[in-house]
Every structure is written in C-alpha cells, then in structure tokens.
Structure 1
Amino acid sequence: MQLVYSLKNELASDSGQVATAQALTLDLSRPFGLKGTFGLFGSDEWWQSIEAGRLQKTELEGVITLLGRVGMHNESPVFNAHLDNGDHYTYDTVADTKKGVKKYIVGKRIKIVLVRDPLKSPSTSRGTHSEIVIEIWVDE
C-alpha cells in the first residue's frame, strides 16, 4: 500500500488549522472542540500521545466502492469504502499530492488510520470523541 495522505503533512502546510483547533480547546467559555486530554491538537505532545498509544489508533480496511462529489455545488470529492468488517465508510478524497488523488480507484483496497480524541463537551448528537483521520493508504 502507498501512503496518499498524512495529517502531519497537511498541518505542516497549514499552521492556521492547528492554531484554530488549539484556540478552541483552550477557550473554556466555548463548549465545542477537543478536550486536550492527550495534548493540544497537532502539538508535539499530541503526536507523542499517538505514537505511545495513549491516543489509540484505529485502522479501517476495505475496498473503494464509489467515488463521488458532495456539497451544494458538488465541490468536495469523496470516496465510499466497503470495510472488511461489513461497515461502510465515507470520507473526503484527500491526498498530499495531485498524483495521490489519482490513486483513489473503485476496486482498490484502502486503509484509513484514525484516532478518536475526546470532545470537550460530549453529547448524544456529537458523541464523546472526534474521529480524526491521520493517514490514508491505497493499494498501488
């Protein structure tokens, strides 16, 4: 499998995304955002928590079954995968390079690596954790 998307790479090129998420975590007057239990999103401490297993990784594997677009003007490319466990998973078609986007092909195997980071204010509608995709791998 080939790594086509890495959150580390995305965050390295978009420091504003990290700053916004961290500010929301630190703003105690706002109930939204991550709790920060395992470090502030995107920080060295946060990545170390992932590597040490304190912030648990989950790997979803399956086969790409559909490529499509969503949004009011069909502006966002997405993929749907039928997972090995029988579930379906839909996510944005993201890649570190334009060449990586072309790796998303119906019938190819895919692996999505994500972490579940606790939310500041869990609820029945939002759940208790945010699922954050940190890597996507596609068969060559």
Structure 2
Amino acid sequence: MIFDLKIWLEKNGEDEMRSTHALTLDSTTNSGLSGVYGLYGTSEWWDNIEKGNIETYMVSGVIVDLSKGNVFPTIFLNQKSIYILD
C-alpha cells in the first residue's frame, strides 16, 4: 500500500485544507504554512512540488497507523512519526 497525500486530500482533505488555508492567510498568527508556493493542497502548491520548489521527502516502510489529530495527517511508520508539510 502506498500513501499518496494528493489522493488522500482529494478524498478526505476538504476540512483540513480549509483550516490550513485560513491559518495561512491569517496575518495575526504565526500558525499555518508560509503560502509562498501556494496554499496547501492547491494546484499551485502541487505544481511547485513537481518543480522542486518545495522540499519533499520520499520514505519507505510499513505504515502502522494514520492519525488526524491535528490539521495535518500524521503517518506512523515503523515506530517513527513523520509529518507531511511544505
């Protein structure tokens, strides 16, 4: 099984993207993402990932859990936790 963030966001991520966009656009807080390369999950953001403008990581292993405890999905991989961020 492969976890694909793009597919996950298309199927399950509407609320997460909306929350992240609101935080990113809120100038009164330091929360959210920078937004320099587009809003999280948008076609502009994905285009910048494909162009190499956003740092990405490829990891392999066994996914043992997936948590939605905060805005970003957290993948627990072989007893390690990684965050999917821009």
Instruction: Report the TM-score when normalising by structure 1.
Output: 0.45
Consecutive unaligned residues of structure 1, counting only runs of 5 or more, are 69-76, 82-88, 92-130, 134-140
Q: How many equivalent residue pairs?
A: 76
What is the alpha-carbon distance in structure 2 between the residues aligned to residue 55 and residue 79 of structure 1? 22
Residue number in structure 1 paired with 2:7: 9
Instruction: Report the TM-score when normalising by structure 2.
Output: 0.68
What is the alpha-carbon distance in structure 2 between the residues aligned to residue 31 and residue 78 of structure 1? 26
Deviation at 1:60, TM superposition (A): 2.9
Indicate yes or no: 2:28 matched with 1:37. Answer: no
Q: Which protein has the bigger strand share?
A: 1
Equivalent residue of 1:57, what SS?
coil
Residue number in structure 1 paired with 2:49: 50
Consecutive unaligned residues of structure 2, counting only runs of 5 or more, are 66-74
What is the alpha-carbon distance in structure 2 between the residues aligned to residue 57 and residue 90 of structure 1? 16
Structure possessing the higher relative contact order (Cα contacts under 8 Å, 6 or more residues apart): 1
Percent of pairs with identical residues: 30
Instruction: Report the aligned-residue RMSD.
Output: 2.8
User: What does 1:1-140 align with in structure 2 at a 5 Å threshold?
Assistant: 3-13=1-11, 14-61=13-60, 63-64=61-62, 67=64, 78-80=76-78, 89-91=80-82, 131-132=83-84
Deviation at 1:8, TM superposition (A): 1.2
Deviation at 1:37, TM superposition (A): 1.2
